[in-house]
Structure 1
């Protein structure tokens, strides 16, 4: 099964957020999730009006997930973005800031209120606002990656 709509990966995203952050994931909260909508891997991938991305634990992490909202914002298909090192979503001068954020996530399990400039495939720059990053840990506590979600962005 393609990770984009894999229910096990959806469960990892949701359960990790709940365990590590101690709250319901914002991408499942009203009004983002309409009362008639049923949270599922397919809904998060195809219909969620917020961006959700994740990268793996490699020394130079690559994206392993990006929902359609994130794909549209960054201008990549699923296959293109999942072949991309996640550091390339920011310009080189911002790599240090990005690394410090990831170190905070490694230390605390999550970070909230993140803002930063990112770059689309086209070269368009946009600023993410009020993002949340969290560790993707399975039920056994094994680290599988880091995920991010944000609902606000603007071109810069």
Structure 2
């Protein structure tokens, strides 16, 4: 069985996540030594949560690393069928929309925090979130990603 991070589509997407982060924030998200396969593996097993979603009007997750999948209590298959809004409680979705809009406008947002909910209903206060826009090699907008390494169960 192939690991998620070994799939060529995920290797390519990992490069979009990493390249966009570096371009917008002028620093690396992870150590980028090695080839693209190694970088995809290192991103998947990174010590922080990394998620991304696509460009649909109601975006779906299209990437989550191992820490994120564990935190959200989801398999890869479940995650990639999940609208990203569903990890925010309905009363907090307006705040989430403001964050997405601000990220779209500025390119990235840092030091955000909020409450999110896993597939099984566990609530987390996530802190020090960085969210950024994603662009392919032709500079086409292709989604948004977020990372954080601090959370506490509520």
Question: TM exceeds 0.5?
Answer: yes
Structure-1 separation of matches of 2:22 and 2:119: 32
Q: What's 2:102 paired with?
A: 104
Q: Is this contact kept in 2: 1:74–1:121, CA < 8 A?
A: yes
Q: Is 1:129 aligned to residue 124 of structure 2?
A: no
The residue matched to 2:134 in structure 1 has which SS?
A: strand
In 2, distance between residues paired with 1:118 and 1:44?
22
TM-score by length of 1: 0.87
Match of 2:42 in 1: 43
1:2-47 CA-to-partner distances (Å, cap 9, x unmatched) read: 864432111111110111122222xx16xxx9xxxx95102221x2
What is the RMSD of the two structures over their aligned residues, measured on CA atoms? 1.9
Matched, 1:21 2:25: yes
SS in 2 for 1:40: helix
Aligned to 1:54: 52
- Spell out the pairing of 1:81-120 with structure 2 (5 A cutoff): 81-120=79-118
Structure 2: where are the runs of 5+ without partners? none
Tell me the SS of whatever aligns to 1:139: coil
Q: 1:135 to 1:54 in 2, by over 3 A?
A: same
Gaps of 5+ in 1: none
Aligned twin of 2:16: 12
Aligned length: 146
Deviations 1:93-127 (A, max 9, x none): 01000000000001000000010000011111001
* CA spacing shift, 1:97–1:14, aligned 2, 3 Å: same
Asked whether the 8 Å contact 1:3–1:9 carries over to 2, the reply is no
With the length of structure 2 as denominator, give the TM-score of the two structures.
0.88
